[in-house]
Amino acid sequence: MLDAFDGVRLEGKGSGKFNGDVCCRILKAFLAKELGPGFTVSEPNAYIFGDPQERDLLVLTSDARRIRHTNAFDPKSVKCEIEVKANGIGYSSDPSADVGKQKEVFIGSRKKFRTIKYVYFTFQESTPKRRGAIDYWRLTREGLKPFRAFCLRNRRRRKQEPWLGKWGWEGFVTYIESIL
């Protein structure tokens, strides 16, 4: 998955929108292989019918159908909303506020659609190189609670190995399976 992520992004040299689309499509392809036959993943930039908020990806029941002429789905067919990032949330002068904004989006969605789960997924995030530096991954993970956050790798490590376990791919797939 990370090879696909790195290859397309380096080859395409795209903007944030391009990278966002690439990340959503890669995650969709890999997650779809993990889901049981009763579930599917939407195309990127999907909607829940009755709400104007765009969603990166939705995990849907396999019988879900788009509302005519849209990429919107009946809320009864939506099991999970996934916010997808290439490099994490908080890289402005106030990263805590950036994370807080994402949490507020999830809270607002949960108020409208109580049966849907909300998950954050990033391909890479940063942990500090030196003492006292900002740990963006911890800030994101802690700041989004009670919503779950998952990350594939630490972008500040030289070897760039994938993170596994409860916050990596394995944890993500296990969590998604548990809510279906």
- How is the chain split into domains, by residue range? 2-179
Q: What number does CATH give the domain 2-179?
A: 3.40.1350
Mean pLDDT of 78-92: 88
Rounded Cα distance between 61 and 51, Å, is 19
Cβ partners under 8 Å of residue 145, min gap 6? none
The closest of 50, 117, 48, 44 to 86, measured between CA atoms, is 44
Q: Residue 102: is its pLDDT beyond 70? A: yes
- % of the chain residues with pLDDT over 70: 91
Q: What are the start-end ranges of the H helices in the chain?
A: 2-12, 16-34, 95-112, 136-143, 169-179
Average pLDDT over the chain reads: 89
pLDDT, one tens digit per residue, over 6-61 is 777 666 566 677 788 889 999 999 999 999 899 999 999 999 999 999 999 999 99
Please tell me whether residue 158 adopts helix, strand or coil conformation: coil
**Structure confidence at residue 10 (pLDDT):** 63
73 forms beta bridges with 48, 66
The closest of 91, 155, 82 to 120, measured between CA atoms, is 82
Rg of the chain in Å (alpha carbons): 16
133: burial class by Cβ within 10 Å (0-12, 13-18, 19+)? exposed
Rounded Cα distance between 23 and 84, Å, is 7
